Amino acid sequence: AQSVTQLGSHVSVSEGALVLLRCNYSSSVPPYLFWYVQYPNQGLQLLLKYTSAATLVKGINGFEAEFKKSETSFHLTKPSAHMSDAAEYFCAVSDQGTGGFKTIFGAGTRLFVKA
Amino acid sequence: DADVTQTPRNRITKTGKRIMLECSQTKGHDRMYWYRQDPGLGLRLIYYSFDVKDINKGEISDGYSVSRQAQAKFSLSLESAIPNQTALYFCATSGGGQRGSYNEQFFGPGTRLTVL
């Protein structure tokens, strides 16, 4: 069975500081990994995805994530936070297991950006 | 126009009432999903459909039912609403294409349901 753990339900950073949102996954087969972002009063939108190509994945808005198989991690980073990055971020895992391509979401991490 | 639409966007109802939430998509995707979002729990899958004739229960299907009326439409029903079904409900779709792109899900704007 697959699972996702996001460390920290809330993360607060100052504008211009490094953003680091942590995600660890469990999967018995090679996973597909995703980060989604949810802005207030909106649905989720894809930030970036790992599909077994390059281990360092670049996404929209300057975010990137690195797949580390040995650590079963897929942490999300951004070198310099902007006020507009304040949102909730969800890590998700999926694979091509029996039953199709279901996606398991983490509990989410809310990012606060201080001026 | 939005690719995935949900109606209504907000709904307040009373315990015991039947409620239907509707989802439509113009992305041409064959797979559709219903999730509920609760604070601190992330998104949990209620039902999913891989095509019109294929409907599957997710992890929290009790108290819910679905109907896939067409490839583009997937509705969620609460036969007899109860207060702990108060949540934000999302519809999502996914389709084919490049490896990995199949798993990417596209979400509607959500329906905020309150059961009193």
Residue of B30, B104, B106 for testing the chain A interface, max A β-carbons within 10 Å: B104
Q: What gap in Å lies between CA A42 and CA B107, rounded to an integer?
A: 9
What's the token pair of residue A33?
Answer: 């990994």
Chain A: residue nearest B56 by CA?
A99
Q: What's at B68, amino acid-wise?
A: R
Task: Look at residue A99 in the predicted model and tell me its pLDDT.
Answer: 46
| Segment A54-65, tens digit of pLDDT | 889 999 999 999
Chain A: residue nearest B51 by CA?
A100
Task: Look at residue A98 in the predicted model and tell me its pLDDT.
Answer: 46
Residues of chain B in contact with residue A43, where contact means CB-CB under 8 angstroms, are 4, 90, 92, 107-110
| Segment A68-106, tens digit of pLDDT | 999 999 999 999 999 999 999 999 998 765 445 678 899
| DSSP line for A22-81 | EEEEE-SSPPEEEEEEE-TTS-EEEEEEE-SS-SEEE-GGG-EEEEETTTTEEEEEESS-
Cα-atom radius of gyration of chain A, to the nearest Å? 14
CB B23 within 8 A of CB B6: yes
pLDDT band for position A42 (cuts 50, 70, 90) = confident
Query: Does the pLDDT value for residue B101 go beyond 70?
Result: no
Residues of chain B in contact with residue A101, where contact means CB-CB under 8 angstroms, are 31, 94, 102-103
In the numeric block, the tokens 């113009």 are attached to B26
Nearest to A107 among B31, B40, B100 (CB): B40
What's the token pair of residue B113?
Answer: 């349901």
Q: Are strands A109-114 and B19-25 parallel, antiparallel or unpaired?
A: unpaired
- What angle is formed at CA B42 by the lines to CA B20 and CA A76, rounded to 5 degrees? 135
How far is the alpha carbon of A39 from chain B, nearest alpha carbon, in Å? Answer: 10
Residues of chain A in contact with residue B106, where contact means CB-CB under 8 angstroms, are 46
Chain B: residue nearest A42 by CA?
B109
Q: What gap in Å lies between CA B116 and CA A60, rounded to an integer?
A: 40
CB A88 within 8 A of CB A1: no
Residues 6+ apart with CB under 8 A from A48: A34, A35, A57, A58, A59, A60, A63, A64, A65, A76
pLDDT band for position A30 (cuts 50, 70, 90) = confident
- Please tell me the total number of residues recorded for chain A in this structure: 115
3-state secondary structure of B44: strand
Residues of chain B in contact with residue A44, where contact means CB-CB under 8 angstroms, are 43, 90, 92, 105, 107
